[in-house]
Amino acid sequence: MKTAQHPLVVFHAQSSLTLQRGMTEGRKIDRANQPSPFRSYAGAPVVKLPQPEKYLEGVWPSAIIKPADFTLQRLSNLLYYSAAISAWKQDPKTHAAWALRVNASAGNLHDEEVHLIAEGVSGLENGLYHFNARNFSLELRAPLTPELKQMIAAVSQTEAPLKILLTSLFDRQYWKYGERGWRYCLLDTGHQEAAVRSAGAQLGWPSVVTRTHDDQKLGSVFGLAHDEEVPLAFIEFSLQLKPHGTWTPQTIAFHGQPTPILGTHKQIVDPVTVMAIAATAGEALSRESISTQPFSVPVRPPFSRQRPWIDLVRKRRSATAFDPQSRITNEELRWLLRQAFNQSAYWRQGIIEQHFTLAIVYAQRVAGLEPAIYLYSPGNDQLLEHKKLPIDISSLAGQHALGQEIVSAGAVTIAILTDMQQVLNAFGEKGYRLIHQQAGVVGQALYLAAESLGLQGTAIGAFDDIVPNKLLGMPESMMCLELFALGKARPDQRLTTLPAYGFDQQKTSFDPRSVEVVPEVHTDPQPGLRSKKFMPEGLEALINNLDIWLLQSTAGQFADDLPLEQVRQALGAVSAENREVLAAFQEYQSGKKNLVDFLDTLLDDRFRFLQAQAATVIEWLLDAQVIEAGSARLAEKLDRLYMRPPQVESLEPSPEHRAIIDRSGYRTQFPGRMVDCLLKHDRRLFAPALFTTAEAASDSDLPIGFRQEMTRPSLVATILSHLDIQPGQRVLEIGYGSGWLLAMLADLVGETGEVYGSEIHPALARRGAENVARFGYKNVEWIPTDADGFPDAQLLLEEQFDAIIVSGENPLIGKGHRLKRFLTQLLRDGGHLVTFTNGALDIQRVNSGEDDSGQSFVLGNMIMPPLRLEEALERQLAPEEWFLTKQIELWAEIEYNQPALDRILANERFRPLWAPLFKALEEKTRREALQKYHPVSSDRAVRDELYPYFKKFERDYGVLTSADVAAERERAGFKLAMTNAENYLRNLRNLTSETIDRVMAGARHFPRVFFLPEFYTEENAYWPIDYIMDYGHQMVSLHEQLAYLAFLGVAPGERVFEVGPGTAWLSFIMSHIVGEQGRVDALELVQEIVDLAKRKQAYFGVKTINFYQGDVNRDVPAYLRSSAGTYDRVLVACTAPENAVEELGGLLKPGGRLIHPVYEDSPNGKNMRFYLKAKRPNGRLKIVSSQAFEMKPPDYEKVL
């Protein structure tokens, strides 16, 4: 820090916080790309550490401990008490879980990694290892060849049998804290160093540490990626010093590839931080002074109670809140300071650290000490009053911590300070690292000392950097390194604490077959719910469809081509049962029998041929809450039907099952052992008894009760083929239901493998377990679940899994990324996670060192087997609901070809498929383009690929009549969509009724369907989803577009400038609002869209809109020269760079408003945030307010 331009000067200034900056300058955090807290080396040989010993009797601080031999068991103890997971924390609401470590870390992100050299550790092959904290194991990176030993000797000070290198993966901290994260990395390494060295001393292994090394040399020894992992502290467990050897670089063959800690894209670290890291990477001007004096006897605590050392270390936690009434005595405070800053403490023996640190103590509630600010000098062990201010000391401490309440609520706050100039004079740039690491050592000692006093502490890295200078009057070279707050912690009742490893808890057995099943109690929904949950016209349509469906099902044929009367005649000629069903239906139609009684009749055992189909429809009706009075009776009858056990006479597959396997083509698509497994496990042996053998063999989902289904064989085959389950693997299925897939998994892993299953419904759990037991598998373990269907915490205690399958639509998976991320942490490297979300099946492979895409990647949305859509088309079957939600993506991904697409588009019966099909093709084309070209080229690629089809379905405004528009305005579905949209807007904040009325009047005047291509129907034009529109552009959902205008606040007579009008729907609504005295100017990139918008304008007869073609990056500056300060509102309805948005702000009159929607992640999912900006006198834009709302509001459930 010799010149004003020195990298460390620039870095420290840029990473500093003040009360103002810390409160107003937040950092956007990419939640979906959170770094993994665990790293492993894929392909490296693994050494499983023995279970650590728990009978160590020492207390903290300890007396002199006799030196002990180096063994693998003691190494396990060392790592368990210094670098391992100490516990898991779990949110019982979301089931997200995260690991805590023995050592403290900023944000619990744990940037540190532990590598070690073993040369003479009994029971362990000599070599260089990486410690895998997640698995509590060692990974052999390299054997100790002569070349590697020569390099080790050149960087070592001793010939210790054990040497440990602490490194930092800066990306973990930078992800959340930006530049300041580098400071936290240094502090965290100090915490880790203190944990390792104190654990070593407890075992009788004294140590020396080197922090003044050359990064390049140490990184080469340990095979580190120099651009990612930084070596920070080298600990050697010996006091027998030796001269350094001669450094000669060698080529070492290291085992394993480091698993990426980030997701699919790398963070871009700012150049200032990169320069600061590089500036401190060289060897220091001088080394730390080493002492080989005997251990000193520690000072005993000033109280009689003494906690075992293992309790202090393993149960240490960073407090999240303090009891504001907690206190500490003066005697306890002084003892605590001595322990933390005592450089001759037994576990820090071997290094004489110059007294570069001192402490400022905020005595907030210290018995025997006046509330004031005190100065503690470690050299002479004196606590002197520094300053007494006429303000509350707790408030002052909180102000130093940028207003963090936990600090002001503590009993005492300690600020660790240093004279940075003295440090740099002694050690050069390396001193910047050294002093922060030394502060971290002090911090870890404060943690342990506080725990021994029955208190808790928390290290604070975010603080006001100028307080020591401005408020306390210290010189500018005096800098604060870390704050530490102490007090009596308030336990966080929201979280559950779980053990760290399997050996930390006694396992208990669980068998769902022994659990007494209590029938589920059903109640009728409250009156009036039907009108809220289901549209009346939808109910009428359903009943009409039920009429035809029942008739067709009982006739046993597909009678779509026959008139209804002919079908009824055919029914009457089949059987007495058919006639009885028809008579019951006629009674319902005539009003003699109500709907519940009619449906109850269909479930009667007399109509076994119809029972399964009727149960499926009735369950759907109950789930949609169509039925009010009497639904409980139907639900209870369904439960009894579904729980009838399968009629099993033999485990041999039925002829029908063999036939479906033979005809399916599985033998040519999937591995033979997997097809044999499918053949062996006939679904009739797992399905409820109401299904016939033929129905069980069909390739369709089968309901099994409790709104659950057995997955169709083709989808199960797809899952198993991608998982490639091998003998000896460990697999977990969450929600095993009938047990069909679980039994196949047990068969595939064999006797040497293990399968775990959990199921939330006791009746299903019992039936599924009985079905699996019928095959005699001994390798299945049953896991109980909580009320949300999530497996018991015992899962955290087991070894990691090769595959985890979350069967069915588990609602917890869709609540955010944290739970899914937690499940991936239970997987081994290369393991698979299978989840169903929103009708799509995701199969992810996790932490593959061979995959360049990062931590995980999606293999594909494998929804249906190939050719299913084509087969339906050839058979001329009418598309069903599941086609729209489950099959289109797969067809577009795998089967898409132009002739097939043309056939679908030529068939009017498939019209409901057209819009989702184009959406899937657009997404596929855009994704493939992004892999080849710059993102700007993806829109052009979509237009080029799909242009002929966009042109084909372009709406012909020459044949559109005013009667068509009037009819749409009167349509019930349109009115409902507008009502729901209006209700949604009225639930948003900061909107006036007058503004909403204007927007909705324009939306009702110009029905949205007439602004979309003709492959959209009158119904799906109003669904709350994004659309693909003409020429490959996208149109956001209805409620988002109307929210744009509502927040924009257009008023009559105003001038509006719009960028990216697209379909021009918003342009027309705004023209309706501004009236004849106002004007709307719209700038669009694609000329074809401009031409189409003008044809719409001619049809509707609107004269107050001007459409222009141009690029916002090229044409806006020229436009500003003639139009600056002339518009009341500016709507940027497309992606635009910040500089272009700033220039567009120049169009505004003083007090005008600009809206540019920006999409951001939030803890609640994907939200949209508006930046409302107003023109300022200096020409710059200013954020006035912001509004966040969910992409899919609950009101729109009604529309779907």
Query: pLDDT for 939-974, tens place per residue?
Result: 555 555 565 666 666 777 777 888 889 999 998 888
**What are the structure tokens assigned to 360, written together?**
């400022």
pLDDT tens profile 867-910? 334 444 443 333 333 334 344 544 554 445 566 666 666 666 66
Residues 1069 and 1101 in one domain: yes
Place of tokens 């070492």: 252
Question: What percentage of the chain exceeds 90 in pLDDT?
Answer: 22
Residue 779 banded pLDDT, cuts 50, 70, 90? very high
CA angle 696, 700, 706 (to 5 degrees): 80
How far is residue 424's CA from residue 808's CA, in Å, rounded to a whole number? Answer: 60
Which residue range forms the structural domain that includes residue 354? 317-492
What is the predicted pLDDT for the residue at 800? 79
Q: For the residues 1127-1153, what does the mean pLDDT come to?
A: 81
Give all strands (DSSP E) within 378-514, no chain letters: 382-387, 412-419, 456-460, 478-487, 496-498
Residues 944 and 1034 in one domain: no
pLDDT tens profile 221-247? 999 987 789 999 999 998 888 888 889
**What are the structure tokens assigned to 716, written together?**
């199960």
How many domains does one find in the chain? 6
Whether the predicted pLDDT of 441 surpasses 80:
yes
Whether the predicted pLDDT of 677 surpasses 80:
yes
Does the residue 21 lie in any domain?
no
Enumerate residues 6+ apart whose C-beta is below 8 A from 1122: none
pLDDT tens profile 451-485? 888 889 999 988 988 888 877 788 888 889 999 99
Residue whose C-alpha is closest to residue 654's, from 679, 676, 687:
679
What is the predicted pLDDT for the residue at 83? 94
Residues 925 and 983 in one domain: no
How far is residue 292's CA from residue 240's CA, in Å, rounded to a whole number? Answer: 8
Q: Which class for 932: exposed (0-12), middle (13-18), buried (19 or more C-beta within 10 A)? A: exposed
Domain boundary (284, 309, 329) is at: 284
- What are residue 785's DSSP bridge partners? 791
DSSP 945-991: HHHHHHHHT---TTT--HHHHHHHHH-HHHHHHHHHHHHHHHTSTT-
Residue whose C-alpha is closest to residue 72's, from 47, 97, 42:
47
How far is residue 922's CA from residue 893's CA, in Å, rounded to a whole number? Answer: 11
What are the φ and ψ backbone dihedral angles of 55, each rounded to 5 degrees? -105, 15
What is the predicted pLDDT for the residue at 865? 29
Domain boundary (922, 952, 982) is at: 952
How far is residue 35's CA from residue 31's CA, in Å, rounded to a whole number? Answer: 9
pLDDT tens profile 539-549? 444 444 454 44
Calculate the alpha carbon distances from 99 to 70, 110, 133, 416, 780 in Å.
Answer: 29, 10, 10, 28, 27
What is the predicted pLDDT for the residue at 936? 42
477, 455 contact by CB (below 8 A): no
What is the predicted pLDDT for the residue at 886? 40
Residues 944 and 971 in one domain: no
Residues 228 and 196 in one domain: yes
Does the residue 26 lie in any domain?
no
Residue 1120 banded pLDDT, cuts 50, 70, 90? low
Q: Please report, for the domain that includes residue 103, its CATH number.
A: 3.40.109.10
CA angle 949, 950, 951 (to 5 degrees): 90
pLDDT tens profile 996-1012? 999 999 999 999 888 88
Residues 930 and 972 in one domain: no
Residue whose C-alpha is closest to residue 130's, from 99, 167, 158:
167
Place of tokens 């006429």: 390
Question: What's 380's DSSP letter?
Answer: T
Domain boundary (612, 642, 672) is at: 642
Residues 483 and 573 in one domain: no
999, 1039 contact by CB (below 8 A): no
pLDDT tens profile 719-755? 888 888 999 999 999 889 899 999 999 999 999 999 9
749, 721 contact by CB (below 8 A): no
532-541, 809-818, 1018-1027, range with the lowest pLDDT: 532-541
What are the φ and ψ backbone dihedral angles of 480, each rounded to 5 degrees? -85, 135
Q: Which class for 484: exposed (0-12), middle (13-18), buried (19 or more C-beta within 10 A)? A: buried
Does the residue 845 lie in any domain?
no
Report the Cα–Cα distance between both ends of the chain, in Å, rounded. 64
How far is residue 696's CA from residue 530's CA, in Å, rounded to a whole number? Answer: 33
How far is residue 756's CA from residue 735's CA, in Å, rounded to a whole number? Answer: 11
Question: What percentage of the chain exceeds 70 in pLDDT?
Answer: 67
What is the predicted pLDDT for the residue at 735? 87
Residue 204 banded pLDDT, cuts 50, 70, 90? confident
199, 78 contact by CB (below 8 A): yes
Which amino acid, residue 743? A
0.75 surpassed by pTM: no
12-21, 170-179, 561-570, 984-993, range with the lowest pLDDT: 561-570
Residues 970 and 1091 in one domain: yes
Q: Which helix (H) or strand (E) covers residue 272, if one does?
A: helix 271-279
How many Cβ atoms sit within 10 Å of the Cβ of residue 184?
28
Q: Please report, for the domain that includes residue 1174, its CATH number.
A: 3.40.50.150
Does the residue 934 lie in any domain?
yes
Q: For the residues 577-606, what does the mean pLDDT come to?
A: 74
Residue whose C-alpha is closest to residue 1139's, from 1120, 1160, 1113:
1113
Enumerate residues 6+ apart whose C-beta is below 8 A from 698: 660
Residues 91 and 70 in one domain: yes
Q: Which class for 965: exposed (0-12), middle (13-18), buried (19 or more C-beta within 10 A)? A: middle
What is the predicted pLDDT for the residue at 302? 53
DSSP-based three-state secondary structure for 487: strand
Does the residue 913 lie in any domain?
yes
Does the residue 522 lie in any domain?
no
Calculate the alpha carbon distances from 635 to 522, 600, 641 in Å.
Answer: 7, 10, 10
Residues 451 and 588 in one domain: no
Category of 231 on φ-ψ map: left (φ > 0), alpha (ψ -120 to 50) or beta: beta
72, 121 contact by CB (below 8 A): yes
Residues 677 and 626 in one domain: no
- What are residue 143's DSSP bridge partners? 127
Q: Is the dihedral of CA 676, 681, 682, 683 positive or negative?
A: negative
Which amino acid, residue 815? K
Does the residue 293 lie in any domain?
no
How far is residue 64's CA from residue 335's CA, in Å, rounded to a whole number? Answer: 19
What is the predicted pLDDT for the residue at 498? 78
Does the residue 908 lie in any domain?
yes
Any alpha helices (H) in 405-557, and if so which ranges? 405-408, 420-427, 430-452, 467-470, 529-533, 536-555
Residues 661 and 638 in one domain: no
Whether the predicted pLDDT of 806 surpasses 80:
yes
User: What is the CA 55 to chain-centroid distance, rounded?
Assistant: 39
